[in-house]
Every structure is written in structure tokens, then in C-alpha cells.
Structure 1
């Protein structure tokens, strides 16, 4: 159900309404998430046309009012907004310059993805702007493409890229919920390789820097993060050790579920790590599997389990149910 307001009411009765806590689990509904982002562009025409002018909420299309972003006359000029976390993006609305030169935007590509390679201009395409009128706000449906970055680029042309507003509508595709979790593992190699080192937000893959979790040489070594409540998990990203011994992680299983039976190692499998390179961060799609616990385990082997970072992307799943008794206040005059 979609709404800004949640009411609890007992209709038609004289009664005390008692609520010790109300927890509401959900995600923001399809708002303009670009407003909270960070913008950049290939160059800046002048001090009044910085990249952030295209995400300031001002729909004025008169360039002279100072409400539009603009690059220099670049080859393949680009503009990008970093949404700060991945979103499922339903649509992008672009307001073009209205007082002059509106045809400059024709042929621009709208790209969405999670990569900053080539300044984000290698990400998949949502749409190409075939034509646009002066000051018109055109809507481009992106069908829930997932990405942290939205780029607008005019490939292969010498051109000014002018954008008076870019609105990006979507909902979170999931944040790294492991950062708020609690980690344990089957054993600990030394005092600087505790389980929580794999959820500290540090992507350094050098074991000697003390940022990686590591067990001793166990049989079926395992590591687990408790997300503290069930989540719908879209993906798990694992950063392997980079300075040595990266092949030790091959064959590890990623498990997701709500059971702690056998330390969580009986939960369903999201993926098996068939191969992984040194210090590489591999992404495993888990297709909204639901669970409170994410385990990584190497079944049936004598092995060290080394994890320099485990990122779990998802959203809370489920709701809290509680029951209230029918008793009134227990002290005279209380309510």
C-alpha cells in the first residue's frame, strides 16, 4: 500500500488507544531522487551553469536566470548525477533550455548503471533523445533499470550540453544492509581478522592492512552476517583477498535464509563462487531471496576462509505484528 500517513484508530468506541511502538517498514515511493544526488559534468561553461543546477528543483528554462547546467563546446559532452545508492529507476524527465538553442540536446543518450568507468558513459542506455522542443519537459520510461548513476551524453559530437532540470524517479534498489549487521565466523585466524572486518565498509584487499576477516584452516569454514531482521536481498558483492591466496575462495557457497540450524549453513543457496580473482569484487544476483542471515561457507574442505568485504544489498522484508490487551490504565488518573 502506498501512503505518506499511517493511522491507527478504533472507530465508534470509547476507548484508550495504547501504542508502545509503531514500526513501519517500507521504501520511499517513486519520488525525484535526483534532488539528493551529486552532479558532475565534463566541463562547465560559466560559474552560473554548474552541474548541480540541473538537480536544484528549479524548472525555469531560461538560461540567463542561472538555473541550468551547461558544459563547454566539448567532444562528447556529458553530465552525471550520482544518486548515492542504487535505485530502480522508473522514469527520467528532462527540461530543455527554452530561450535559445534547444536543438542542441537532440541525439543525447540517457544512461543508467552502477559503473563509473569512462565517467559512467559505458552504462546501459535507457533512451536516446530523438527530438525535443524549447523548454519542454520530456519523459523517458526506464522500466525499473537499476543504477546509482544517471548520465546524459551526446556521443561523438562537438556540442554544448544544456540541461535546465533532470528529474529521476525511482525507489531504492537496496542499500548495503550488511554495514548495520553483526558478523561471526567458525574461527578467527588472529586478532586483526575478526568476522566484523568483512562488514566495516573498507574495501582494501590487502590482508596485512588488517581489513579482512579470516578463519583458521577449518573443515568447512564459515562466516555469517546477521542483518537483524529479514530482508529481500537483491545481490551480494564479495571482495576477495588481493595480496595472496585468492584462489582459496573458489567453491564457496553464499547462503541466505532465516534459520540458524547448523550455524545457518542449511539455508538456501544464492550462488556458488566458481572462480574469483585477486582483490576482485564479484557480484552475485540473489533475485530478492528473503533472509536475516547471509552465510559464506566452503563445504567439505580444509581451508582458510578470507573475506575482505561482504556487501549485502536489499530492503527490509515483512512487518511487525503485536497484540494489545484490553486493560485500561492501571493507576487512577493515568491514561
Structure 2
């Protein structure tokens, strides 16, 4: 059987590897943007290519160099693009289509080509690797005369690496409507429907938002995305705090940075210089303040395993030389630590308690038996 220390460290290592796997998530960001196309054929609307239904499609008229353009509202590193061809007829119309990724909106044909579609069977979905090409716009166009561009579904997949906040528990001081705290870590910057993609408190004194990373991490930076639709000044003066205490809802932890301002729809990065902490909070001091967050990203390394040795003097009528009494004492200390926010803690004796006789100064003839021992505390 492995020693308890070895087993505990192994569990943390496995959790860390699983965490790294989960953090590198691939998301379809296509529906977070808005689409346009060169021409419209009846009610075959541009947005039909983003509705998740292969039975509804976008469609241009017959023209020279038809195109369809998706504005992702911010620049992404695009891993791959998927295209679903129409199922009912005319599958060859997509042949020769070019997929482009770039940052030029006015001249769509000047953006670099990710891939060229040779053919897609009727109703099929094909994936095209873009190898991390960066751009705000994804364009599908067909060069030539008398062409028709029909798209029944377009997916744009982006890899989000290393966000420690992903999937963690969120708490905020209050919630207005559907602006839930968890929406600040859903990858969606909320440029289209902020009420379903951003978090927001009500107007209150000292509003706050907090993510529990569950373990202690060494945080290198925090990225905050501000809302695009209005009120960018609401974030002004927000404090980013990192630490292990839940005192004052975590708002007494050390400050990583103070946000002076973030323009509407912009993601700003704040360096935290490897601060250690389990909790990352945003806190705005003042009356009648509203805290709105469209995305919070936390980057760093960990979990960090900390070992702390605590020397204790314990007055006991029972003998702590008995193993059963020592186990009972640890079971009593454990919930006391949990109440103080240390839920991921393992206690064990690093050496057996030793009995000492201490003489009272006032009454030299009397003595008290004091059990002393060292506790080793592993905190993750």
C-alpha cells in the first residue's frame, strides 16, 4: 500500500491532468457573430446558415463572385471551419468555394484563404482546418460568373486554452434578470445577446463577483471582457482580488489590479505576477454601482500543493498516546478548518504527541499534563 502522502499527491496530479484537458475546449463561435451576404434569394436569409438547422439555408442570387461573411465581433484564432451542403439538390454549386479568415471587412477577397472546397455531398458536413489563422471575419465565396452560393450551416471552431475559471463555481452579490454569474465564464463575449451571455448585479453598494477555482493556483494574468452594447464605464474602478480567504466575500484578498477603464467590447489583460489563490474576485467599491462582466479568463499554473506544519499545545484529560484519541482529535479539527474556507485539507500527525509536565508558577506543587504534538496540514 502506498503511503498516504503519495496517494494524495497522485490524486492531485490526475486532477491536474484532467483539468488541463478540459481547459483546452473547442467551441463553435459562429453563432456569436452576425452574418451578411452579397445578395438575397427570396427568404433564404443569411442567418439561416447559423441557426443549427440543416433544413434552412442561406442563398444568393445568380451573380459574379457571390460571398457570405461572418463577423465574429472580435479576432479569434480559428482552428477549423465546417460547411453543411444543401440536402435536396444542386450539391455541385458549392464546388470551388473558398473559405477565408482575416480582418478586412470592406474587401472580403483580400483576406487569406484557409481552404478551397472541392466538393461536398448533398446534406453532408465537411470540416476544413485553418491551423489557427487569426481573424475577425470568416468568408465563404465562389469565384466566377453566374454562380450561386448556398450554405445550410457554417461552423467556426476556436480552441480556448488554459482558462482556469472554466466550469468552476461562480457567486455574485446579486443578479439582475437573466444576467447570471456563470455567464461570465461561458466563452461567449455577449456581443449579440448580452443578457444571455454576460453577468450583472443589480445597482447596489460594493457589488462583487467571485470564482472558486477549488484549488490554489499561481495566477499569472486575468482577462476581462467589457460589454459592447452600452455602459462601458460601469466597470471603471473595479478591483481584481486573488487569495484564499472568504472574509468579506473574498474582497479582502490582495489586489492584483484596479481597472481604470475598458472600452466597449474590448478584452483587457491584467498581470498578476503569479499571485497564489483559490478565489478570484472582482469588486467595485461604492454606492449604487453595477458590476457587469461579459467574460472573465484566469490563467496560471497549478494546483499548488502546500504543506504546513502546525505545532499545538493541547490540554487533554485523555491520553493522546492512544491512536484512537489522535484520530478523534483530527476529526474534530477538520470541520473547524472547513468553516474557515479550507475544504480541501488533509490532516495527519507528523510525529506522535508527547506528554509534558508543565509547572504552574502560582502553585509550584501542582502540575498539569499537557499533550503536545505536531500536525502536518496539506492544503491544495
> Cα gap change, 1:101/1:41 in structure 2, threshold over 3 Å: closer, same or farther?
same
Equivalent residue number for residue 168 of structure 2: 37
5+ residue gaps, structure 1: 1-24, 179-186, 206-210, 221-244, 246-301, 315-335
Quote the residue 1:150 is aligned against: 280
Does the alignment pair 1:202 with 2:334?
Answer: yes
Distance 1:102 1:194 in 2: 57
Match of 2:366 in 1: none
Report deviation, 1:77: 0.8
More helix by share: 2
Q: Which of 33, 56, 61 is the aligned partner of 2:191? A: 61
In 1: Cα distance, 2:237 partner to 2:192 partner = 21
| Offset at residue 84 of structure 1 (A) | 0.6
Give CA deviations for 1:67-109 in whole Å, capped at 9, x if unaligned: 1000000111111111111110000001111111111111111
Q: What CA deviation, in whole Å up to 9, does each residue of 1:235-281 have, x standing for no partner?
A: xxxxxxxxxx9xxxxxxxxxxxxxxxxxxxxxxxxxxxxxxxxxxxx
8 Å contact kept, 2:348–2:377: no
Matched, 1:192 2:324: yes
Q: Distance in 2 between matches of 1:160 and 1:54?
A: 15
Residue 305 of structure 1 pairs with residue 372 of structure 2: yes
Q: How do residues 1-335 of structure 1 correspond to structure 2 at under 5 angstroms? A: 31-46=162-177, 48-175=178-305, 188-190=320-322, 192-194=324-326, 198=330, 202-204=334-336, 217-218=354-355, 304-306=371-373, 310-313=376-379
The alpha-carbon deviation at position 59 of structure 1 amounts to: 2.4
Q: Distance in 2 between matches of 1:215 and 1:303?
A: 14
TM-score between the two structures when normalised by the length of structure 2: 0.45
Shift in Å at residue 173 of structure 1? 4.5
**Could you give the per-residue CA deviations for residues 207-235 of structure 1, whole angstroms, max 9, x where no partner exists?**
xxxx9979565479xxxxxxxxxxxxxxx
Paired position in structure 1 for 2:114: none
For the residue of structure 2 that corresponds to 1:202, the secondary structure is helix
Q: What is the alpha-carbon distance in structure 2 between the residues aligned to residue 64 and residue 110 of structure 1? A: 22
Aligned counterparts of 1:177 and 1:199: Cα–Cα separation in 2: 19
- Closer, same or farther in 2 for the Cα pair 1:204/1:80, shift >3 Å? closer
The structural deviation recorded for 1:160 is 1.3
TM-score with structure 1 setting the length: 0.51
Q: Is the 8 A contact 1:61 1:95 kept in 2?
A: no
Separation in 2 of the partners of 1:132 and 1:199?
48
CA contact (8 A) 1:107 1:154 kept: yes
Q: What secondary structure does 1:304 align onto?
A: strand
Mapped partners of 1:92, 1:167: distance in 2: 6
2:280 and 2:195 mapped to 1: Cα distance? Answer: 25
Answer with 169-178 or 193-202: which moved more.
193-202
- Distance in 2, matches of 1:39 and 1:115, equals 15
3-state DSSP class of the match of 1:54?
Answer: helix
How many residues were matched structurally?
A: 197
Report deviation, 1:177: 7.7
Deviation at 1:56, TM superposition (A): 1.9
User: What is the CA distance between 1:174 and its match in structure 2?
Assistant: 1.9
Higher relative contact order (CA 8 A, sep 6+): 1
What is the rounded CA distance, in whole Å, between the counterparts of 2:304 and 2:328 in structure 1? 21
RMSD across aligned C-alpha pairs, in angstroms?
A: 3.7
Q: Do the aligned partners of residues 97 and 63 (structure 1) sit closer, same or farther apart at CA in structure 2, a change above 3 Å counting?
A: farther
**Structure 2 Cα separation of the partners of residues 147 and 216 of structure 1:** 32
Secondary structure, aligned partner of 1:193: helix
User: For 1:159, what is the secondary structure of its paired residue?
Assistant: coil
Structure 2: give runs of 5+ residues left out of the alignment: 1-12, 21-160, 309-318, 338-346, 359-368
